Structure 1
Amino acid sequence: MAVPEQTPGEIAEPTVFFLPSVPGRGDDGRPALALKPLDDGRLALPLYTALDRLVAGCGDRQPWVAVLESKVEQVFRDSGADVAIVDAELSDDARWGDDTEPVGLGDYREAVAGHEQDAKGDSHGY
């Protein structure tokens, strides 16, 4: 990733990615990330380059966590995801509503639980 240019004496702000999460915490106490099951059976870790892109892609009710760019690779490895997707737009039925969780969240939890048993690392959150 390109590093923005700085003027002398200016302190650079760290680059942050926004990751969708689900309510609650993983067994390790970290926020539980919302991995997205893909049609081919793989799990994707959605990453958003700006908060407004997360809102556009997931809706304004989506829980999220911010992760420093320097930690994203470790978060990806620890998540159990097979691939990362950047600034993806979720379908309407996969978004959080005012009083509802996304359609299929139970299926999502089952898919993640099944994938955790198959994955080498079983940590799913930061």
Structure 2
Amino acid sequence: MTPGEQRLLLDTVVVPLHELPRDDEAVCELRRSTDGQLALPVYDTVEDLVACCGRAQPWMAVRTDRVAELADATGADLVVPGLELPPELRHGDRQ
């Protein structure tokens, strides 16, 4: 990874998607919290996303200063860093 790529990653988070975007339209994968709120999961790195969501999880990078705007646009009630999915819900990790 180059120094420029490292600097870019410091200002971004990784957001899981339902599928890879087509026609410039991405659909974020939201989850319900235990109290019923709609949560937008975010991860510091792709490695964190893979560990929590599975190796085949589609994703996109989002600037950290745009996360609140994304949460509003998706209808999320809260942003949850590092949300770990149960193994049976992970993409590409199903037995």
TM-score category (smaller protein)? 0.7 to 0.9
Task: Give the distance between the partners of 1:77 and 1:58, measured in 2 at CA.
Answer: 22
Give the equivalent residue in structure 1 for 2:88: 93
Task: Give the distance between the partners of 1:62 and 1:25, measured in 2 at CA.
Answer: 13
Tell me which structure has the larger Cα radius of gyration: 1
Does residue 19 in structure 1 map to residue 15 in structure 2?
yes
5+ residue gaps, structure 2: none
Change (3 A) 1:24 1:52: closer
Instruction: Give the letter aligned to residue 64 of structure 2.
Output: E
Kindly report structure 1 stretches of 4+ aligned residues shifted beyond 3 Å: none
Count of residue correspondences: 89
Question: How much is the aligned-residue C-alpha RMSD, in angstroms?
Answer: 2.5
Q: Which of 66, 72, 77 is matched with 2:72 structurally? A: 77
Percentage identity across aligned positions?
Answer: 33
Task: Give the distance between the partners of 1:95 and 1:78, measured in 2 at CA.
Answer: 24
Cα offsets for 1:8-67 (capped at 9, x unmatched): xx97823110000012659x9520000002232211100001111001111111111110
Task: Give the distance between the partners of 1:49 and 1:66, measured in 2 at CA.
Answer: 10
Q: TM-score, normalised by structure 1?
A: 0.61
My pick for the range that moved more, 16-25 or 48-57, is 16-25
5+ residue gaps, structure 1: 1-9, 101-126
Change (3 A) 1:91 1:32: same
Q: TM-score, normalised by structure 2?
A: 0.79
